[in-house]
Copies of this chain bind each other. A is one copy, B any other.
Amino acid sequence: MTDLRPKFRREPATQRKEALIQAALALISEQGVAGATVRAIAKRADVTQGLIRHYFTTKEDLISAAYERHMNQMTELTAAPAAHADVSARTRLTTFIAAGLTSPVMDTRSVTLWASFISSIRTDDAMRKMHQQTYYDFRNRLECLIRDALIEAGTPTPPDPKNLRQMAIASNAVIDGLWMEGGALPEAFDTGELAQIGLTSVGAIIGLDLQEQATTPLPTPSQVTPTKGQL
Q: Within A199-219, which residues are at the interface with B (CB < 8 Å)?
A: 200-201, 204-207
Assess the B116–A119 pair: CB atoms within 8 A.
yes
Which residue from chain B places its CB closest to the CB of A185 in the assembled complex?
A: B132
CB distance from A9 to the nearest CB of B (A): 33
Assess the B108–A112 pair: CB atoms within 8 A.
no
A170 contacts B by Cβ under 8 Å: yes
A135 contacts B by Cβ under 8 Å: yes
Q: A33-B119, A185-B131 are in contact. Are A225 and B173 (CB under 8 A)?
A: no
CB distance from A86 to the nearest CB of B (A): 28
Interface residue count for A (Cβ, 8 Å)? 60
Q: A230 — which chain B residues lie within 8 A by C-beta?
A: 204, 207, 229-230
Secondary structure type dominating chain A contacts: helix
Among the listed B34, B119, B163, B173, which residue makes an inter-chain contact with A173, where contact means beta carbons less than 8 Å apart?
B173
Assess the A166–B225 pair: CB atoms within 8 A.
yes
CA distance A122 to B173 in the complex (A): 23
Q: A33-B119, A131-B184, A201-B174 are in contact. Are A228 and B169 (CB under 8 A)?
A: no
CB distance from A120 to the nearest CB of B (A): 5
- Among A113, A169, A180, the one with the most B-chain Cβ atoms within 10 Å of its Cβ is A169
A172 contacts B by Cβ under 8 Å: yes
Q: Within A167-189, which residues are at the interface with B (CB < 8 Å)?
A: 167, 169-170, 172-178, 180-181, 184-185, 188-189
**Chain A residues with a Cβ under 8 A of chain B:** 29-35, 108-109, 111-113, 115-116, 118-123, 131-132, 135, 155, 162-163, 166-167, 169-170, 172-178, 180-181, 184-185, 188-189, 194, 197-198, 200-201, 204-207, 224-231
